[in-house]
Chain A
Amino acid sequence: MISLYQPRDSPIHRLHPLTKLTLSFGLIAVALGAPVDWAPLLLYVAVLVPLSYVAQVPGPFLSTSWRLLLPFAISLFLIQSFFFPEGTQILARLGPLTVKAEGVRFAFASTVRILLITGALLLTLLTTHPGLLMTGLVQKGFPPPLAYVVVTTLQIVPQMRERARTIIDAQRARGLETQGSLLVRMRALGPLVGPLVLGALLDVEERTLALEARAFSATSAKTSLYDLRDPAAERIARWAVVLGIAGLIAWRLLEALQ
C-alpha cells in the first residue's frame, strides 16, 4: 500500500499515534476557533513547520503540504474573488469581471484553514507507521472497523495522487490535451476528475468488503503485532487537549447564543 510514512528516529515519531492525532485536532480546533483570519497561517508557520524540522521531515512535509493546497487555493481565489455574491468593495476590474475584497478575504481564510488542517494531519501521517496508527487506535478501545476506516481514509490522499497520475496519462494517450492555456486545462478536468472520484467510491466499497472478509465484525479481542508505549504524560496531555477542544467549542457556542 502506498503510504506517506517516512521512517526517522525523532521524538515526534516516538509519540503515541493517538497523541499525535489528538494534538492535530487540538491545533485545528484552536485555528478554526480563533477570531482572526490569519490564525491558521500563524500556527502553520510557528508550530507545524518547526515540528516538521524536529521530526526530520521538513522536505516531504513542505512539498506535499503545498502541492495539496495549490489546486484548492487557485480555484478558491478564482471563484471567490470574481463571484463572491455579496461583495461590494471592488478592488479591480477585468472586462466584465470584478474582483471583490470580500471574496479575496474569504478565499484567503479558507485557504489557510485547509493549509493548517492538511498540514496537521500530514505531519501525523509522515511520522506514524500506518500499522501503528491502526494498532494504537484499537488498543485505545476504538472499534476496529472504525479505526480501519479512519486509517485508510487518511491514506486515501497519497493513493489518489498516484491514481490521478495514471488517469492523466491514460487520457493524454487518448488525445486529451492537458497542457496549455487555462481554458484547455479546465476542459481537461472532467475526464480527470470523473474517474478519480469513481475510483475513490469503488475503493470505499472494496474496503467495506475487505472488512467483512477479514472478519472485522467478530467480537473477540484482536491480537496485535505491535505493542505500543503510552506514557502517563501523553495520556494526560491528550485528555487536556480533548477538554480544551470541548471548552473552546462550548465557549464559541455560548458566545453565539448571546
Chain B
Amino acid sequence: MIPLHVEQVAYTYPNGVVALQNISFSIAPGESIALIGQNGAGKTTLARQLNGLLQPTQGRVLIGDLDTRQHTVAKLAAQVGYVFQHPEHQIFKRTVRDELAFGPRNLGYPADRATALVTQALRLTELTEFAEDHPHDLLPALRKRVTLASVLAMDTPILVLDEPTTGQDARGIQVIGAIIDNLRAAGRTVITISHDIDFCADHCHRLIVLGGGRVLLDGPAEEVFGRPEVLEQTAVELPQLARLTARLGLPLAWQPEALLDALEARQHQQGQQ
C-alpha cells in the first residue's frame, strides 16, 4: 500500500484554460476521499493527474515514489486504477469475463491470480450471473458496473472513481458504496468524484472541495460540512439530513443515528428544564 502526494500542482490545457492552480495534498493508504465541487471546478482534471493521463504543467504528482512525469500511464496503471465517467467507450470484449481479464492480463499477472481476481470482482459488483453475457447486451447501469469491475480486477492499491453513482439505481448505489467501504477496510486508497453529497458523506471520511481550480476546503466531513458558506461558492449543498439538523437548530449531523441521538439529547435536556 502506497501514499500519494500532489505537490503544488498547476495545470493549463493546451488551449490556454487554466484548470488547476497550486494544488497540494497527500493521501495516506486506507483513506477514502471525496472530490467535490461544481461543474468545471477541475475535479476530472485533477483526477487525471493521479494516474498520469495528464501531467502537471507545474509541480509534481508522486504515486509512492513514482513521479507521474517519468512513467507511462500503462506503467502507473498497476498502482492506480481509474474508472471513467463515461466508461461504455472502453468495452470491447465479447463477454463480461473477458472484459474483466483485460486489465490483469495487461499488467502481466499470472493466469491463476488473474482468474481469482476476475471472479472476486464479478462477485463484488454482483455481476457473476452475467459473466458470459456480451457486455453490450447489458443495461447501461450494469455496463457501467462492468467497467468498475474491470478496474477492481486489476487489484491496484489506489482507485479513482469518476462519478460512479450516476445512472445507478438504489441497489447499484448500495453495491458501489459497499465496494468503497470494503476497499478502505482492506487498506486501499479510494478517491471518489461525485455530485451525490449524501453518497460522499456516507462512504468518504475526508472531503476535498474544489472551486475554480483551487482547493477550497480539505478535511473530515464534520469539518467541511461546518463551512456551508464556503461550499456555497462552488455550488455544493449539505447532505439532506445535515440541512434538516440546521433547520431544527440541532448540532450538525448527517447520519440517521447521529440525528436521532441529537434529538434524544434535546428531549432529555427539555425534560430536565
Interface of A toward B, CB cutoff 8 Å? 163, 166-167, 169-179, 190-191, 194-195, 198-199
Contacts and interface: CB of A to CB of B under 8 A. Distances in A.
Interface in B130-189: 136, 150-151, 154
A199 B103 CA distance: 21
A173 B87 contact: no
Given A175-B77, A175-B103, A175-B106, A166 B86 contact: yes
A195 B89 contact: yes
A195 B86 CA distance: 13
Given A167-B89, A191-B102, A195-B92, A174 B150 contact: yes
Contact of B106 (A177, A179, A198, A199): A177
Given A163-B89, A169-B53, A175 B136 contact: no
B15 interface: no
Question: Interface size for chain B: under 10, 10 to 19, 20 to 34, or 35 or more residues?
Answer: 20 to 34
Contacts of B87: 170
Nearest to B83: A173
Contacts of A175: 74, 77-78, 103, 106-107, 154
A172 B107 CA distance: 11
Given A178-B74, A179-B74, A191-B102, 8 more contacts: A166-B84, A172-B74, A173-B73, A173-B82, A174-B90, A190-B92, A191-B92, A198-B92
B103 to A, nearest CB: 4
B51 A170 contact: no
5 contacts: A169-B84, A174-B103, A175-B103, A177-B106, A190-B92
Given A174-B151, A175-B103, A191-B102, A167 B74 contact: no
B22 interface: no
Contacts of A173: 51, 53, 73, 77, 81-82, 84, 151
A174 B77 contact: yes
B86 to A, nearest CB: 7
B240 interface: no
A174 B91 CA distance: 11
Residue from the set A169, A172, A173 with the largest chain B CB neighbour count within 10 Å: A173
B26 interface: no
A199 B89 CA distance: 7
A158 to B, nearest CB: 15
A198 B136 contact: yes
Contacts of B51: 173
B233 interface: no
A179 B72 contact: yes
Contact of A194 (B53, B73, B92, B107): B92
A167 B89 CA distance: 6
Contact of B73 (A163, A167, A172): A172
